[in-house]
Amino acid sequence: MNLPNKLTVSRVILIPFFVFSLLYQGGENQNLRYVAAAIFVIASLTDLLDGKIARKYNLVTNFGKFMDPLADKLLVCSALICLIELGQLPAWMVIIIISREFIISGFRLVASDNGIVIAASYWGKFKTTFQMIAVILLIVRIPALALVTNFCVWIALALTVISLIDYLAKNHKVLTEGSM
């Protein structure tokens, strides 16, 4: 269990604390929302750190390859589902975002079986950045930032769709090769 893997596991361990802090008292305790936001930021930073450390010090493991994207999706999906529960995001929007994650994960699995590695695209990185910003803004729920929050949510949704189309267009041969 090297440092990057410990960071990944810590992200998963933080999820129940994040969910509790956000949902306790129906999300009405603003101080706990700040705690939830802090936990989300810390967990998100572990996602940045674990990959950088693993690559820099050649600590890439099969466990990390499996758990890192899973931990990331668990964190983001937990946040989005909690925000539905709190009435801050419509379910249809979250379904689009989560569906994209499942589609890309499945796509990468098929590619991996064929010896192809699909790297993260710039669209995917922009999507992740806007998602994280939007989630944090939604968690802290500051009325003066409502317009900025809504803008970030819609940009994150648009980038979710754009990045999905980009992945599929650039890598369509993954699904079509070998099917004849």
More confident residue, 178 or 60: 60
Residues 107-149: pLDDT tens digits? 888 888 888 888 778 999 899 999 999 999 999 999 999 999 9
* Residue 178: per-residue pLDDT: 56
Q: What is the mean pLDDT of residues 16-29?
A: 96
pLDDT of 180: 40
**pLDDT, tens digit, 9 for 90 and up, residues 36-92:** 999 999 999 998 899 899 999 999 998 988 899 899 999 999 999 999 999 999 999
pTM: 0.91
As a whole number of angstroms, the distance between CA 14 and CA 75 comes to 9
The greatest distance separating any two alpha carbons of the chain, rounded to the nearest whole angstrom, comes to 58
Task: Please count the CA atoms within 13 angstroms of the CA of 132 that sit on its side-chain side.
Answer: 19
Query: In this model, does residue 179 exceed pLDDT 70?
Result: no
Q: Where are the alpha helices (DSSP H) in the chain?
A: 3-23, 30-56, 62-85, 91-113, 122-140, 146-170, 173-176
pLDDT at 107: 86
Q: Please state, in angstroms and rounded to a whole number, the distance separating the CA atoms of residues 174 and 116.
A: 8
- Mean pLDDT, residues 6-25: 97
Distances (CA, A) of 54 to 70, 73, 79, 128: 16, 19, 26, 20
Q: Which residues contact 39 (CB under 8 A, 6 or more apart)?
A: 14, 17, 18, 21
Handedness of CA 175, 176, 178, 180 (dihedral sign): positive
DSSP-assigned states of every residue in 118-142:
-PPPHHHHHHHHHHHHHHHHHHH--
Dig out the tokens for 80 from the structure: 């989005």
pLDDT(177) > 80: no
